[in-house]
Amino acid sequence: MDNITLIATARFGLELLVKQELLALGYADLQVGNGRVQFPATLADIPLANLWLRTADRVLLKMAEFPTTTFDDLFEQSKALPWEEWITQDGKFTVKATAVKSQLQSERTCQAIVKKAVVERLKTHYHTDWFAETGPEFTIQLSLHHDVALLTLDTSGVGLHKRGYRAEAGEAPLKETLAAALVMLSFWNKERLLLDPLCGSGTILIEAALIGRNMAPGLHRSFAAEQWPVMPTEVWQEARVEAGTAVDHTTPLQLLGYDSDPTSITIAQQNAAKAGVGQDIQFRQKDVRDLWIDQQYGILISNPPYGVRLADYQAMNQIYIALNKIFRKKTGWSVYILTADPQFPHYFKRAQPDRVRKLYNGNIQVNYYQYHGEKPPAL
Ligand SMILES: C[S@@+](CC[C@H](N)C(=O)[O-])C[C@H]1O[C@@H](n2cnc3c(N)ncnc32)[C@H](O)[C@@H]1O
């Protein structure tokens, strides 16, 4: 079991970022597919990938991938896999199935077939007919795509976007993984000023602080595979200790968050404190229409409110007009706006966006408008 294959899953549009993250963590032979990056690994990489990946949704352990078009075949091929190497006799396991463009269309039937196949396999191995299912949790995922079945075990448990710092959500918060992606797609680095003038619960700035401090995003949470007896506890402990010592406590960060809503500011402060970066971000209640910027260089990353009612339009227009007024002539500022509103570039008249990326915020398709600013002079 020394050599395993892991799959980091990601939202559409973020696969290459996940690949970059894996390369930076030292992994090679990466295979990028739709919504996933596959890589060869060892057991010790399960904690590493879960603790460190910022933009991936989950880390899955690949059990097998095979073409299949009949339920009988799905059953036999699933039963032939060494589930007992991972799932304990008291293991509580569930199967989740998705089927896209495949002859086996019924996800519920596929789910039941795989569950039965695994139970049959475990019955033979453990010489028992009855499983208490009171032990560690194992989630088997079957994903059928164009008649190819991918069977995996979920090592993450709760999705990796749940870092554990978000006590309160605030209004329309961004997923932490997407917020980290926005920062990583920008020109920001820990030496530079970052502003989110519509910061809500502060997710973008908190993710930037975690990056700036080199803090593993999973440091304050647990993972499904931590309960698996096959994973020695020391492997997790070592990875956590290493992540703890990797934190950069010294570099001063310049992170500013404003919002007109006082409750959002309180929530943002609480979340930042819980994430361990409370001292790194200055949050203040301020309406963007009252914002005054005197720094010549900086990075702005934000996702303005977006709605469809007339009142929303009026509020949005005012925000866009304010942003245009402040940043039109500030060519030393790189401006990054995530919105579902295709009108944004018509209001922000500094230039055409240098790049527009299509991303997903939940299930909503959004654009990430990127306006590059001049680099600050080298000191
Ligand atoms: C989509 S939310 C931002 C969510 C944030 N990225 C997060 O992860 O929590 C937009 C935010 O803009 C704030 N807002 C709306 N109008 C504003 C204004 N005129 N000035 C400053 N903030 C405003 C709202 O209070 C809301 O928190």
Beta bridge partners of 366: 359
Higher-confidence position of 166 and 2: 166
Instruction: Write down the domain spans for the chain.
Output: 4-154, 176-217+247-371
Q: Kindly state if the Cβ of 261 falls inside 6 Å of ligand 1.
A: yes
CA–CA gap between residue 336 and residue 343 (Å, rounded): 15
What percentage of the chain has pLDDT greater than the value 70?
Answer: 97
Q: Span 164-170, mean pLDDT?
A: 74
pLDDT score for 363: 87
Q: Kindly state if the Cβ of 303 falls inside 6 Å of ligand 1.
A: yes
CATH for 4-154, among 1.10.287.610, 3.30.2130.30, 3.40.50.150, 3.30.1360.200? 3.30.2130.30
pLDDT score for 221: 95
Q: Kindly state if the Cβ of 257 falls inside 6 Å of ligand 1.
A: no
| Lowest pLDDT segment from 152-161, 303-312, 313-322, 327-336 | 303-312
Contacts of 378 (CB under 8 A, 6+ apart): none
Q: Give the atom of ligand 1 at the shortest distance from the alpha carbon of 319.
A: 19
Contacts of 55 (CB under 8 A, 6+ apart): 10, 14, 17, 18, 21, 177, 178, 180, 181, 184
**pLDDT per position as a tens digit, 75-110:** 999 999 999 999 999 999 999 999 999 999 999 999
Domain 176-217+247-371: what homologous superfamily?
Answer: Vaccinia Virus protein VP39 (3.40.50.150)
**pLDDT per position as a tens digit, 237-270:** 999 999 999 999 999 999 999 999 999 999 999 9
Same fold, 4-154 and 176-217+247-371: no
Residue 24 confidence class, pLDDT cut points 50, 70, 90: very high
**pLDDT per position as a tens digit, 215-245:** 999 999 999 999 999 999 999 999 999 999 9
CA–CA gap between residue 279 and residue 345 (Å, rounded): 35
CA–CA gap between residue 373 and residue 48 (Å, rounded): 35
Q: What is the whole-number distance in angstroms between the Cα of residue 259 and the centre of ligand 1?
A: 6
Q: Nearest C-alpha to atom 25 of ligand 1 is from which residue?
A: 261
φ/ψ region of 164 (left if φ > 0, alpha if ψ in -120 to 50, else beta) reads left
Q: Kindly state if the Cβ of 361 falls inside 6 Å of ligand 1.
A: no
What percentage of the chain has pLDDT greater than the value 90?
Answer: 89
Question: In 3D, which of 261, 286, 281, 259 has the Cα closest to residue 271?
Answer: 281
pLDDT score for 1: 64
Half-sphere exposure of 222 (CA within 13 A, CB side): 7
Q: Span 338-357, mean pLDDT?
A: 94
pLDDT score for 185: 98
**pLDDT per position as a tens digit, 5-20:** 999 999 999 999 999 9
Q: What is the whole-number distance in angstroms between the Cα of residue 313 and the centre of ligand 1?
A: 14
Asked if 207 and 150 count as a contact pair (C-beta separation under 8 A), the reply is no
**To test the ligand 1 pocket, which listed residue (175, 176, 260) has its Cβ within 8 A of the most ligand atoms?**
260
Q: Kindly state if the Cβ of 271 falls inside 6 Å of ligand 1.
A: no
Q: Nearest C-alpha to atom 3 of ligand 1 is from which residue?
A: 200
**Per-residue pLDDT for 329 more than 80?**
yes
Q: Kindly state if the Cβ of 339 falls inside 6 Å of ligand 1.
A: no
Residue 168 confidence class, pLDDT cut points 50, 70, 90: low
**To test the ligand 1 pocket, which listed residue (162, 264, 337) has its Cβ within 8 A of the most ligand atoms?**
264
The position carrying tokens 């995996």 is: 152
Q: What is the whole-number distance in angstroms between the Cα of residue 20 and the centre of ligand 1?
A: 30
Q: What's the sign of the alpha-carbon dihedral 161, 166, 172, 178? A: negative
Q: Kindly state if the Cβ of 170 falls inside 6 Å of ligand 1.
A: yes
Q: Nearest C-alpha to atom 26 of ligand 1 is from which residue?
A: 200
